[in-house]
Structure 1
Amino acid sequence: MKDKKRRIISEAKTIFRKKGYLLTSVTDIVEASEISKGTFYNYFTSKEELAITIFKQEYSVLYQRLDQIMQEEDKTQKEKFKTCIELLVKFHIKNAEILNISFSQATLDDDFNQFLLSVRSKSVKWIKEQMLLVYGKETEPYLNDLAMMLTGMILLFVFVSSKRNKERARIPEAVDYVMNRMEVIVKDVVRTKEIVLTDEDMDGFTPDHLSLKKRRMGKLKNLVEDLLMKIDAGQIADSDKWQFKETLNALLAELNNKETPRSFIIQGAILYLKQQVPKNLETEISKLESQINELL
């Protein structure tokens, strides 16, 4: 079972990089993985869910490595930051399609859009934190501007490099150039005390995590309410209806009444629903579990 899931993920990565996410279909992934569509949907509810799984894995490995570099004790903060920037450039050249999706205006699945926004938010936050360590507390009022200028230079180099032979990309030289320019920019910004981007400006680009969580919670409640309506409409045997409704109502009450939902109650409810769910509601319960896992 796990081998099939790993194969799907591996083949999807390859196809996304060759064709691009938007031009890749579930059929492409199924054919490359040599499985049926039914098998695909046993593991993923959609192409979007598969892509989120892949991108989470990729970014998890990336940020673990970045954290390791920043904890090294034999280098200065500036040297470590430079090494991290080089790693970021290499990562995004290798995964240019991720970058293109993250900053495009393409119409995507809402969950996928929200995930990409959270990735963007985490990336900018990380850069701001490291710049504060490298360039000092006097840069704090200007971190929005500095982080976006650095991000812009990185993205421009990645974009140009992704359009040519990646082996010819002069990454170390480019990173040296970017870091040298940032030294001059930081000093000038601190000297002039000019601020362009406020925190309010950044909200549209890197949405607040709590707002994102609130939207996800709203979608989760809607899904539970839809399930209750289907049960009332007779899509489950009368003998099981009462217990299902009680479980879903308890789940909804926990989501409505708790600022931080108690995970053991929610996980217990999901476990019961999965064990007792009739065939015609399996997809809804699977989607419910997936959204709860994202939230918690």
Structure 2
Amino acid sequence: MIKIDEKQKLIMDVAKECFTKQGLQFTSIYDIVKTCKISKATFYKYFSTKEDLVDEILAYANKKFLSSARAIDENIEINNKDKLKKKIILVWEYLISNTPFNLFIIENFSQVKGQPMYKFKEIIRNNLLSEYYKSLTTLYGDEIESIVWEIIFLIDSLVHEFTLIMRIKKEEFEPSFVSDYVIRIIEMTINELKKVPVVIEKSFFYSENGDASDKLFLSEQLLIYKTIGEIKDLILRHDTIIEQKKLTEAINMVEKEAELGLYDSLIMDAMLSLLEKEKSLKIQIAIFNKLKSKLGDDTREGNK
């Protein structure tokens, strides 16, 4: 999990609440330090400006979400269905905790530290959808390949509907109730969806407009590179330096092949077989292989 200084987290939590309630322009640094019971010098130790503070709040929430998602994937004590339930709860809790602040920032900033706010929205949206995608394909496999985006649409709609009801009607729902209900609807719907033509596809979520880098960002390739990053992080935790070096060389070769689009190369297959022998990497390698298979199919179809 992400480690953060307690005072830094206190400042971010207080600022987030103040910005949402009072507005950015009506919240001074003095208001924040007074509520935190710290000095201005302590504030400036962590943040140089209010914009810097906003950027850190957004980044921390995103990193915390991804770290929690990775912890769910790596938990070998729970089955794949429970992992999907935990992902649903994770998204639910992220939306409950962060949506009001995120909307406020998006409405009041065109960009933060040079990053356009529409990019920030895309990053958050893609992270939520990609976690659904990973857990669904791990749990149901080829059974849902043709309808996976319809199921993601269903999950996404239900989770957002629950959050909307909470805000409008002030009703409280147990996270486990939300996840159990969503899973029940999914399992009731899968067979029916397979009987009819597909209506919702990936393009429903992702715009086809934009340059090549935008399209790369909004594809399975993003998940490939994110999974490679997760594998690298796990390798760094390895106790043996020699073994760590060998595994790092292997994942670097996998990354190079991925950058070239060589998802079916003998080099990639050999390196993945080597990495798969490491117990701590099995889950990430399984996710990678699933994505690799899909991207390999797309590449072959594109070359016809």
Matches within 5 A, 1:12-23: 12-16=15-19, 18-19=20-21, 23=23
Question: CA deviation digits over 1:121-176, x for unaligned, max 9?
Answer: 1221221121111222232232222212211111111122234557x323322221
Letter in 2 for 1:126: E
Which residue number in structure 2 is paired with residue 183 of structure 1?
A: 187
Pair 1:192–1:91, CA change in 2 (3 A): same
Is residue 32 from structure 1 mapped to residue 40 from structure 2 by the alignment? no
Give the Cα–Cα distance (whole angstroms) in 2 for the partners of residues 118 and 61 of structure 1: 14
Query: Equivalent residue for 1:70?
Result: 73
Match of residue 175 from structure 2:
171
Change (3 A) 1:13 1:85: same
Aligned counterparts of 1:181 and 1:78: Cα–Cα separation in 2: 14
Partner residue of 1:90?
93
TM-aligned CA deviation for residue 14 of structure 1: 2.5
- Unmatched runs of 5 consecutive residues or more in structure 2: 218-258, 260-304
1:108 partner amino acid: F
Partner deviation per Cα, 1:202-227 (whole Å, 9 max, x = no partner): 3329988922899xxxxxxxxxxxxx
Deviation at 1:49, TM superposition (A): 4.0
User: What is the distance in 2 between the residues matched to 1:207 and 1:156?
Assistant: 30
Question: CA 1:112–1:31 in 2, change beyond 3 Å: closer, same or farther?
Answer: farther
For residues 120 and 51 of structure 2, what CA distance do their matches in structure 1 show? 10
Counterpart of 1:132? 137
- Give the match for residue 227 of structure 2: none
Offset of residue 88 of structure 1: 2.3
Matches within 5 A, 1:189-204: 189-199=193-203, 201-204=204-207
Higher-Rg member (1/2): 1
User: Would the alpha carbon gap of residues 36 and 59 (structure 1) be closer, same or farther in structure 2, given more than 3 Å must change?
Assistant: same
The question of whether the paired residues in 2 share the 8 Å contact of 1:7 and 1:33 is answered with: no
For 2:51 and 2:215, the matched residues in 1 are separated by 18
Residue 212 to residue 188, structure 1, CA distance change in 2 (3 Å) = closer
TM-score (norm 1): 0.56
Scaled by the length of structure 2, what TM-score is found? Answer: 0.55
Q: Structure 1 residues 127-136 or 202-211, which shifts more? A: 202-211
Give the C-alpha shift of residue 31 in structure 1: 2.0
What is the letter of the counterpart of residue 32 of structure 2?
Answer: A
Secondary structure of 1:204's aligned partner = coil
Q: Which runs of 5+ in 1 are unaligned?
A: 215-258, 260-296
Once residues 79 and 42 of structure 1 are traced to their aligned partners in structure 2, the CA distance between those partners, rounded to angstroms, is 41
- What residue in structure 2 maps to residue 54 of structure 1? 57
CA RMSD of aligned residues (A): 3.8
* Residues 92, 175 of structure 2: 8 Å contact kept: yes
Change (3 A) 1:81 1:108: same
For the 8 Å contact 1:96–1:162, the answer to whether it is kept is no
Q: Structure 1 vs Structure 2: percent identity of aligned residues?
A: 20
1:1-296 alignment to 2 at 5 Å? Answer: 8-16=11-19, 18-19=20-21, 23-25=23-25, 27-34=27-34, 47-98=50-101, 100=103, 106=107, 108-110=109-111, 111-113=115-117, 114-163=119-168, 168-199=172-203, 201-204=204-207, 210-211=213-214
Q: Aligned-pair distance for 1:29?
A: 4.5
Q: Secondary structure at the match of 1:194?
A: coil
Deviations 1:93-116 (A, max 9, x none): 2333146459x7x46323251222
Q: Hey, what's the Cα distance between the residues in 2 that align with 1:119 and 1:37?
A: 31
1:25-67 deviation per Cα after TM superposition (whole angstroms, max 9, x unaligned): 2634442224999997886576454223112112212221222
Q: Are 2:137 and 2:145, in contact at CA under 8 Å, matched by a contact in 1?
A: yes
Provide the rounded CA distance (Å) in 1 between the counterparts of 2:164 and 2:135. 23
Output the amino acid matched with 1:33: V
